[in-house]
């Protein structure tokens, strides 16, 4: 793990964005760890650190895209700042269509044929990302890549491939929890429990 990503993992733990215990997921299943990046924007220095990592990765990969789209809700503040730093137009996708006005899922300007990079915080199975990608494709946009901070390794990457979209993840959950264990933040017992969960849930 490079120095910047290592610094981010420690900062996330310090701000309680990474928790170990027993947590109920939106799917109804339970997990021995929880990644909550919704609080990142509450810490300006942390938000800057995280979005700088996105920018550095994108510049390193030299990806070609016209616009940046954020995934509601946690992906929106991250995508907004990444777009600002890269001087790219920003837009976002709602979770549900508005019942008034334009009744659109997409807020912002996107033209037919535009190449759009989709930005989110974490990917599990990829449902939220797929929802955004489909909404953009319905507007005639092209989506070749999506980028997240953490891949929970539960099939999201593979599900995006079926849509012709390549996932870029700054780190995996396995590497994240390993780094926190090596730094003495996550005890051995909790570390082994999380690793076993990730191994069991990992997409095959």
Entry pTM: 0.94
Task: Please say if the pLDDT value at position 33 is more than 90.
Answer: yes
Q: How many domains does the chain have?
A: 1
Sign of CA dihedral 9, 36, 167, 139: negative
Residues 6+ apart with CB under 8 A from 193: 20, 32
Task: Please say if the pLDDT value at position 142 is more than 90.
Answer: yes
Q: What is the pLDDT of residues 149-161, one digit of tens each?
A: 999 999 999 999 9
Parallel, antiparallel, or unpaired for β 67-71 and 116-119?
Answer: parallel
Q: Which domain holds residue 38?
A: 3-201
pLDDT recorded at residue 102 = 52
The CATH number of whichever domain residue 151 belongs to comes to 3.40.50.2020
């Amino acid at each position: 793990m490079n120095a910047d990503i290592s610094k981010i993992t420690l900062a996330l733990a310090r701000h309680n964005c990474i928790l170990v215990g027993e947590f109920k997921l939106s799917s109804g299943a339970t997990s021995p760890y929880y990644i909550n990046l919704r609080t990142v924007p509450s810490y300006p220095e942390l938000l800057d650190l995280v979005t700088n990592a996105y920018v550095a990765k994108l510049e390193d990969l030299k990806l070609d895209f016209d616009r940046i789209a954020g995934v509601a809700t946690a992906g929106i503040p991250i995508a907004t700042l990444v777009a600002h730093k890269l001087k790219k137009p920003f837009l976002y996708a709602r979770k549900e269509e508005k019942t008034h006005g334009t009744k659109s899922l997409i807020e912002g300007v996107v033209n037919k044929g535009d190449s759009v990079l989709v930005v989110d915080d974490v990917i599990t199975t990829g449902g939220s990302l797929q929802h955004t990608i489909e909404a953009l494709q319905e507007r005639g946009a092209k989506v070749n890549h999506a980028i997240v901070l953490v891949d929970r390794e539960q099939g999201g990457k593979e599900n995006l491939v079926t849509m012709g979209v390549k996932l870029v993840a700054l780190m995996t959950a396995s590497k994240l929890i390993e780094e926190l264990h090596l730094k003495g933040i996550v005890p051995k017992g909790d570390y082994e429990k999380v690793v076993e969960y990730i191994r069991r849930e990992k997409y095959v």
